[in-house]
Structure 1
Amino acid sequence: MRSNARRNLRCAHARDGTPGRQPPHRRRPVRRRAGAAGAVLPRRAIYTGWLLGLALFFCAVAGVAQAKDTPRVAVIDWGQAQTLIAIGAPPVAMSQIPAYNEWVAAPDVPEGVRDLGLRVQPNMELLSQLDIDVVTITSMYSGLRERLAPIAPVKTIDIYDGQGAVWDRTVESTRRLGALVGREAAAEALIDATQVRIAACAAKVPEQVKPLLVVQFMDARHVRVYTEDSLVGSVLERMDIANAWQDGGNYWGFATVPLERLASIDNARMVVVKPLPVGVAEEIDTSVLWHHLPAVNNAPVLYVPPVWGFGGLPSASRFARLLVDALGRDCSAGGAAS
């Protein structure tokens, strides 16, 4: 990278002619021979011009090589997008950026990343115009492979495939994405920083915290509750907080249940992950069922800003920080930014 930076610096100088250029008041005048029809350039000027031309040529070659060192990646899955952004290799294009901002929230999508539209129906015409080297998907979007393949090679990198614990698969997917874009060191740094952040947040958890029931509302009567083998559940485990939901779920790490199913869980505290669907806040505010749930009655409900429960390590560290914030503590210092 340093050699590339030096070449880029030489390129920038070469283009404006700055190497070896003297200030105007120190330049030697061009000598003219008596009787000559025009000025004769000194040998040094000819030599300098030749060097500049040669430098520009090599810079152009180096620039092409450097551009090809980092593949141009398009991403369908939000978890993969946030991971690539976090390791300093944002995708050229990704799906549903406004919805990402609402549901995932961090890290911020850099300016210039193109929006491919719906995750389940990306804009193939736009994608074909972006000179993409590879498209990454998860098995959830495997139905797109046949349509994506004529545009660029398609690489599946999974977490929720039932092939291992979600935390281990999340770490593995981080490494695979880092290798894909030549950012292995940055991927390892993200893994280490995430572990540091979660440990720092765990140290700030108040003593004798009740088991937590972490949910997201689907509508006013149904919630998605996160299991032990989910990203959320994995973070709770690493923070030494019990997960109140013990009935299992799907391989995505959640169960969709009616509110009535939560009535039997009495030794717990409710955590609601935002955003709430339109109108739900008003409905549960007047819901007798909601207010009679033991997990709601035991202590004030903890509302947490948006965290993508199916994301990568950036979502894990973000959940740890926001949960501790909701508990009235602070663990913002140290570890991965979220």
Structure 2
Amino acid sequence: MIAAAGMSFLGLVPLRARGETGIATARPQPRVAVLARWIAETIVAMGIPPAAVPELTTSDSIWQDMPLLEHTVDLGLTGEPNLELLDQLRLDYIFIEGRFQSARWEPLFRQIAPVIVSSIYTAERKPLQTAHSETLRFGELLSSPEEAQKLIGATDAILDEHDKRFSSAKSPVFVVRILDDRNVMLYCAGSLFDAVLAKFGLRNACRVASDWGFLTIGIDSLASEPDAWIIHFEPPTEGPLAANPLWLHLPAVKAGRLTSIPELYSWGGLPTARRFAELLLERLPDGLTG
């Protein structure tokens, strides 16, 4: 049942292979370990839950909202994965993030299983476009090209809704995560969220760029665009905002040009892009008119 839940993550179904009798049979799934969240959510959406991930049971685990297998193995810390345990799992592949995991771990991991190095957050700052091509690559590697195409098609179908909803929007948009009573994480060019805004024809009010797609700035900096809307991820509590004069005096907050959305992982892949797009369509008014 848990495996089926993973397959339904984006409404996809597992690919079937036909044996000599012509009867459809389930293809054995590749056994993979994944050390990056965006890669894991991509292959889960293709119906291939990873056999192992790091930091599965920590209190602030990034995997809590992902439908993994009941017997998915916890590899320990991301920075110090259990190599002996990896070796015991008889893996087909180990997937790692290219920008901060490959230099140290790739040589060691290659002694255990073939290593797939991938990154969509690069100096080119095209995470959505790169996520498309990497999803196709994963589909070929994991013998699931149809699932990869379905994931891309399902994501593109949502992203193509912009003509119906936001074609008349004039206001720019800030996308932020509240850090404390004075600072926010501001998503800029290079982020997946910026790429979705661009697909919807919405202008990011942040005018700078970053390879990782975010900046940490003071809350008062959000007053730099008086006509902007603010989209913010819901904080654990309303404490940082409810009685915060810096926040309450922002033009967008005073004018009611404010939308909160549920928590999303900052550096996700196509499933995160799709969910963010769905939330914008669900919670932003047509044309950003309040």
* Shorter-chain TM-score above 0.5: yes
* Aligned pairs for 1:1-338 within 5 A: 1-4=16-19, 6=21, 67=28, 70-97=29-56, 99-102=61-64, 105=65, 108-138=67-97, 139-142=99-102, 143-163=104-124, 165-200=126-161, 203-205=164-166, 207-208=168-169, 210-248=171-209, 250-274=210-234, 276=235, 281-327=238-284
Aligned equivalents of 2:155, 2:249: Cα separation in 1:
37
Which residue type is aligned with residue 181 of structure 2? A
Aligned equivalents of 1:2, 1:149: Cα separation in 2:
29
Question: What RMSD over aligned residues (CA atoms) do the two structures have, in Å?
Answer: 2.7
* Cα deviation, residue 205, structure 1: 4.3
Aligned equivalents of 2:171, 2:164: Cα separation in 1:
16
Change (3 A) 1:186 1:111: same
SS in 2 for 1:100: coil
Contact kept? 2:34, 2:94, Cα under 8 Å = yes
Which residue type is aligned with residue 257 of structure 1? I
Aligned equivalents of 1:319, 1:189: Cα separation in 2:
18
* Cα deviation, residue 166, structure 1: 2.1
Contact kept? 1:78, 1:95, Cα under 8 Å = no
Aligned equivalents of 1:9, 1:211: Cα separation in 2:
51
Structure in which a larger fraction of residues adopt helix? 1
* Cα deviation, residue 324, structure 1: 1.9
Contact kept? 2:30, 2:48, Cα under 8 Å = no
Which residue type is aligned with residue 3 of structure 1? R
Aligned equivalents of 1:119, 1:198: Cα separation in 2:
32
Deviates more, 1:298-307 or 1:116-125: 116-125
5+ residue gaps, structure 1, are 11-62, 330-338
Aligned equivalents of 2:139, 2:88: Cα separation in 1:
25
SS in 2 for 1:126: helix
Aligned equivalents of 1:145, 1:212: Cα separation in 2:
39
Contact kept? 2:169, 2:202, Cα under 8 Å = no
* Cα deviation, residue 267, structure 1: 1.6
Which residue type is aligned with residue 220 of structure 1? D
Aligned equivalents of 1:115, 1:212: Cα separation in 2:
38
5+ residue gaps, structure 2, are 1-15
SS in 1 for 2:100: helix
Q: Please say which structure displays the higher CA radius of gyration.
A: 1
Aligned equivalents of 1:127, 1:222: Cα separation in 2:
39
Deviates more, 1:162-171 or 1:144-153: 144-153
SS in 1 for 2:197: helix
Superposition TM-score, scaled by structure 2 size: 0.81
* Cα deviation, residue 203, structure 1: 2.2
Deviates more, 1:205-214 or 1:223-232: 205-214
Which residue type is aligned with residue 239 of structure 2? E
* Identical counterparts, % of pairs: 31
Change (3 A) 1:111 1:213: same
Change (3 A) 1:215 1:156: same
SS in 2 for 1:302: strand
Aligned equivalents of 2:125, 2:246: Cα separation in 1:
37
- Please name the residue that 1:46 is paired with: none
